[in-house]
Structure 1
């Protein structure tokens, strides 16, 4: 440290993120132990958004999304939810935003094109204007790239991505570890802002400060995981 450099003040904990992490732990959506990730890593935690599986939990989840989005100031005309988890998230977020006075249409895609009825792969409102993509996490960015292609093909403009948890770890593509996370790739390479309710740093803050002795024991393992794979 040179003479003109002073220590940075400790970051103020993000209260919304802390509330979200506590909610995810209490709901059994965020679990601790030893889990193998899609990238083949052994992670000390696992986030499974599919376990927001009843009306109360889903409603609370989209309250967090809505609060984070409104605070971000991001301007968007509609919501797009990539199949499959994004479908429920888009619909529920649309309901919550309407409740708050921000009525937004939503659409989603089918995995397989339908050749009868309305046909095609897109369902819901016409995809137009500035489109926000919603998902639970970004693992490799594949879902985001596919969503961007569908949105562009419809003549609309992707304007951002919102997720529940940013794992803040190096992505793995074709077996090769990247120096960037999937979220950084989307932000920097695809030029789209990514708005996350919480990140791994927030999870570590929670583990350091919670009175729940059942999870504080995992703080060291989660920190070691971030030291090894974090960005």
Structure 2
């Protein structure tokens, strides 16, 4: 296993975000581990998490995305902190967007917050855990 992957796992364990046991995912699958990104609940941890995500994105696709989409609810802080880290580490300016689970009928209205899509954007969906893609599919309908 690459060193950075081992370091990321150690970071998740130290943050009490990665736990081992018997868990059932939203899609009904059984899994021996659970990642609770809600445990990155302070500035240093969420900032560090954004840096891990930004480094992984930069290593895989460089500046090949224009927008980070974070499905409600746990994808929201991930998209925001990763957008900030992409700028701080690599001067890669990306927008972010997230959905509301309930469409707002007042104020700016609508189901999406952040960047308004105009077409042609390269969007990267950023989520805490993807097993069956249930949350992502739900947020796009």
For Structure 1 versus Structure 2, the TM-score category normalised by the shorter chain is: 0.7 to 0.9
Residue 139 (structure 1) aligned with residue 120 (structure 2): no
CA distance in 2, matches of 1:58, 1:88: 8
Deviation at 1:139, TM superposition (A): 2.6
* Residue number among 107, 113, 118 corresponding to 1:117 in the alignment: 107
| Residue-by-residue CA offset, 1:110-129 (whole Å, 9 max, x unaligned) | 00011111111011111241
* Residue number among 13, 31, 40 corresponding to 2:19 in the alignment: 31
Residue 88 (structure 1) aligned with residue 80 (structure 2): no
Runs of 4 or more, structure 1, over 4 Å off, are none
Which ranges of structure 2 fall in alignment gaps of 5 or more residues? none
Aligned to 1:72: 60
Cα 1:145/1:44, change in 2 over 3 Å: closer
How many aligned residue pairs are there?
Answer: 135
The higher-RCO structure (CA 8 Å, 6+ apart) is: 2
CA distance in 2, matches of 1:40, 1:106: 30
Deviation at 1:40, TM superposition (A): 5.8
CA RMSD of aligned residues (A): 1.6
CA distance in 2, matches of 1:67, 1:40: 29
Deviation at 1:146, TM superposition (A): 3.3
Aligned to 1:108: 98
Deviation at 1:25, TM superposition (A): 0.9
Relative to the length of structure 2, the TM-score reads 0.87
Does the aligned pair in 1 maintain the 2:54–2:83 contact within 8 Å?
Answer: no
Deviation at 1:49, TM superposition (A): 1.2
Aligned to 2:42: 54
Which ranges of structure 1 fall in alignment gaps of 5 or more residues? 1-12, 151-231
When Rg is computed on C-alpha atoms for both structures, the one with the higher figure is 1
Relative to the length of structure 1, the TM-score reads 0.55
